[in-house]
């Protein structure tokens, strides 16, 4: 029974470590900036690493009534690309943190 209690304590400690790492990752992602553009630079989108759109910059030559539909399409394309890049960065951060965390666990999942 003592071994189970020890294992349970180790699992709880690992859970606490995981939560702390997840918080740290979210903080790092909030400070990461990713940019994307569409229409050969006519529309640029900037997002945080955790996927929040920070800004849209539209080239002045696209701001007129005749180009409204084109501009809307370009904004959507740039925003989606920025969000995709943010998700990629999030995966990189998670993988990097998971590698460090798993190496410190007291038991081996891999066999």
Q: Tell me what pLDDT residue 104 has.
A: 62
Of 108, 104, 97, nearest in space to 19 by CA: 97
Q: pTM of this prediction?
A: 0.56
- CA separation for the pair 66, 14 (Å, rounded): 58
Q: Is 82 helix (H, G, I), strand (E, B) or coil?
A: helix
Q: Tell me what pLDDT residue 105 has.
A: 60
Q: Tell me what pLDDT residue 111 has.
A: 47
Strand partners, 58: 43
pLDDT tens digits in sequence order for the chain, 111 residues long: 678 788 878 888 888 888 888 888 888 888 989 898 988 888 888 888 887 888 888 888 877 777 778 877 888 888 888 888 888 888 888 888 777 766 666 655 544
Q: Is 110 helix (H, G, I), strand (E, B) or coil?
A: coil
Of 73, 36, 71, 74, nearest in space to 53 by CA: 36
Of 24, 14, 70, nearest in space to 49 by CA: 24
């Amino acid at each position: 029974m003592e071994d189970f209690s020890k294992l349970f304590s180790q699992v709880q400690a690992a859970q606490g470590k995981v939560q702390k790492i997840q918080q740290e990752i979210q903080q790092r992602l909030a400070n990461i900036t990713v940019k994307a553009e569409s229409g050969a630079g006519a529309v640029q989108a900037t997002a945080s690493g955790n996927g929040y759109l920070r800004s849209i910059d539209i080239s002045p030559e696209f701001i007129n009534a005749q180009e409204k539909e084109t501009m809307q399409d370009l904004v959507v394309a740039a925003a989606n690309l920025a969000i995709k890049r943010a998700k990629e960065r999030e995966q990189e951060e998670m993988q990097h943190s998971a590698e460090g965390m798993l190496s410190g666990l007291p038991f081996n999942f891999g066999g």
